[in-house]
């Protein structure tokens, strides 16, 4: 196998053996799963850059003697980088890429090449320590590998195949990589969020720009709270308002709650009236309570509705409506009087009225119920969604098991952060005490020396 770092700086000689320059880069065409090298870039006399077709002019190559051309120097016709080509050293080496298989952002330390006759193909990127060591010198890499064997700690290559990579540091609309695996906009939103959180603001904006509207909304919903706030601050107000307006009301309210008052008001004024009103209503409930964690997206119909009519209501729901676990039954004043599971609804006759087949003993919570108590009740009674009702018994929203797990994860993250801060504080305190003790010892020594001198 060859590596790009081994090829760079190697001599380029013509068919007569005359050196005409040194290798400065290799180009690939991005339209293949494992793209072949299409062009050779080299520096001639006076460091003048040249580029030639690999297929037309390269006769043989290796990492010791460099590249020999099939023609004499006067017969060479120079070319230019094509729109579909990417230079490996310039565009990939030391760049950040997204490993869409491992769902992480990594840095390219070297590029692995595979010879096949007179062709050379790009297999993938080396993202581990061996690529860094090889870049220093091949002997350094070999010494490190030998030392690791003695220590019984294997220093393996970490290669990401080309078809599992997405380039970040160039305009993705201009450089279309050949990817047979899932691209970013095909990944699960939580995976996209994990990747976005690892990027700096400029790269994050570049990747975000090339996601579709649905993927953008879902990815931002999955981000950590502090990253969400930072990310929205970097967007223009109109884009941020549209993004929040497309979210589920409870997710949108959680994000708006973390923004400054001025920013929140600006975004709410820019979004649709209905969306803004729903978010404002949720913001009226305290954070850490049932009202603060509930969603207002649920299905409720009156008791005289037939099964056929209720199924029609479900069919008319928008495609992005959250999963429906129950149909809630209310009286003429909006008071919750019963509930039906999807199973009961499907197995009942079309002309049956919901008021006759509903389950009346519904477990509910008030909007000021503490978050921990709501979560405990959801898991205690093993229900997918807990209705939240006001003092009159009217439906306000529901808290789902997903909301409960989110609350648990937030608590765990907060506890982990607190433990980390305490640990750091302990280290700092120990360091201060050690420094103080060391200072006292030095003072005592100097005082003793001074007394003896006197």
Q: Percent of the chain, pLDDT > 90?
A: 39
- In angstroms, how far apart are the furthest CA atoms of the chain? 110
Going from the C-alpha of 6 to that of each of 66, 110, 135, 199, 205, the distances in angstroms are: 9, 9, 8, 30, 34
Cα angle 250-414-287, degrees, rounded to a multiple of 5: 35
**Range in 1-10, 96-105, 131-140 the model is least confident about:** 96-105
Phi, psi angle pair for 399, to nearest 5°: -110, 120
Q: How confident is the model at residue 181 (pLDDT cuts 50, 70, 90)?
A: very low
Cα angle 213-216-221, degrees, rounded to a multiple of 5: 130
Distance CA 250, CA 248 (A): 6
DSSP letters, 383-403, are -SEEEEE-TT-BEEEEEEHHH
Structure tokens at 404: 């409960």
Q: How confident is the model at residue 424 (pLDDT cuts 50, 70, 90)?
A: low
pLDDT of residue 163: 66
**Is the CA virtual torsion 387, 388, 390, 391 positive or negative?**
positive
pLDDT of residue 72: 92
Distance CA 2, CA 120 (A): 9
pTM across the whole model: 0.54
**Range in 83-92, 135-144, 185-194 the model is least confident about:** 185-194
10 Å CB burial of residue 8 (0-12, 13-18, 19+) is: middle
| pLDDT reading at 421 higher than 70 | no
pLDDT of residue 176: 35
Bridge-based pairing of strands 336-341 and 385-389 is unpaired
Average pLDDT over residues 151-157: 77
Helix runs in 92-236, H state only: 129-136, 138-150, 189-197, 201-209, 213-222, 225-234
Q: What is the DSSP letter of 101?
A: T
Distance CA 38, CA 153 (A): 38
- Give the helix/strand (H/E) hosting 405: helix 401-453
Average pLDDT over residues 289-302: 93
Burial 138-151 (b: 16+ CB within 10 A, else e): eeebeebeeeeeee
What tens digit of pLDDT does each residue of 79-124 get? 988 887 889 998 888 887 776 666 677 788 999 888 876 788 888 8
Q: In what order do the strands lie in the sheet with 96-99?
A: 104-107, 96-99, 165-167
**Is the CA virtual torsion 85, 87, 88, 92 positive or negative?**
negative
Q: Is 167 left (phi over 0), alpha (psi -120 to 50) or beta?
A: beta
**Tokens 């590596």, residue located:** 3
What interhelical angle do 225-234 and 189-197 show, nearest 10?
Answer: 70
Average pLDDT over residues 236-257: 89
Q: How confident is the model at residue 175 (pLDDT cuts 50, 70, 90)?
A: very low
Residues contacting 15, CB < 8 A, separation 6+: 59, 68, 69, 70, 71, 72
What tens digit of pLDDT does each residue of 265-281 get? 999 999 888 889 989 98
Q: How confident is the model at residue 168 (pLDDT cuts 50, 70, 90)?
A: low
pLDDT of residue 125: 86
């Amino acid at each position: 196998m060859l590596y790009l770092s081994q090829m760079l700086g190697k001599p380029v000689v013509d068919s007569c053996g005359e050196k005409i320059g040194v290798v400065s880069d290799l180009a690939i065409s991005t339209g293949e799963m494992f793209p072949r090298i299409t062009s050779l870039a080299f520096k001639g006399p006076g460091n003048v850059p040249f580029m030639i077709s690999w297929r037309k002019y390269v006769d043989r190559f290796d990492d010791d003697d460099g590249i020999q051309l099939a023609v004499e120097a006067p017969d060479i016709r120079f070319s230019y980088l094509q729109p579909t080509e990417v230079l490996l050293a310039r565009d990939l080496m030391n760049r950040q890429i997204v490993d869409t298989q491992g769902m992480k952002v990594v840095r390219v330390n070297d590029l692995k090449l595979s010879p096949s006759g007179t062709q050379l193909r790009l297999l993938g990127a080396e993202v581990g320590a061996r690529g860094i060591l090889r870049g220093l010198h091949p002997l350094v890499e070999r010494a490190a590998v030998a030392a690791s064997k003695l220590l019984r700690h294997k220093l393996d290559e970490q290669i990401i195949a080309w078809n599992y990579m997405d380039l970040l540091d160039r305009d993705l609309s201009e450089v279309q990589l050949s990817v047979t695996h899932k691209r970013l906009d095909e990944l699960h939103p939580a995976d996209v969020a994990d990747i976005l959180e690892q990027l700096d603001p400029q790269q994050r904006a570049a990747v975000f720009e090339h996601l579709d509207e649905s993927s953008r909304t879902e990815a931002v919903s999955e981000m950590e709270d502090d990253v969400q706030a930072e990310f929205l601050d970097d967007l223009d107000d109109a884009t941020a308002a549209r993004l929040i307006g497309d979210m589920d009301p409870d997710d949108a309210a959680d994000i708006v709650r973390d923004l400054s008052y001025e920013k929140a008001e600006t975004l709410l004024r820019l979004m649709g009236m209905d969306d803004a009103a729903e978010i404002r209503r949720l913001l009226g409930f305290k954070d850490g309570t049932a009202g603060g964690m509930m969603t207002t997206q649920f299905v409720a119909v009156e008791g005289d509705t037939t099964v056929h009519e209720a199924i029609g209501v479900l069919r008319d729901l928008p495609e992005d409506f959250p999963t429906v676990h129950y149909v809630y039954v209310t009286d003429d004043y909006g008071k919750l009087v019963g509930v039906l599971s999807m199973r009961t609804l499907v197995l009942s006759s079309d002309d049956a009225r919901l008021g006759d087949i509903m389950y009346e003993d519904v477990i509910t919570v008030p909007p000021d119920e503490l978050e921990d108590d709501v979560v405990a009740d959801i898991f205690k009674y093993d229900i997918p969604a807990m209705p939240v009702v006001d003092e009159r018994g009217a439906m306000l929203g529901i808290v789902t098991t997903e909301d409960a797990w989110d609350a648990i994860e937030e608590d765990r993250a907060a506890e982990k952060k607190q433990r980390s801060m305490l640990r750091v504080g302990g280290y700092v305190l120990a360091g201060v005490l050690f420094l103080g003790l060391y200072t006292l010892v030095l003072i005592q020594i100097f005082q003793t020396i001074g007394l003896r001198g006197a």
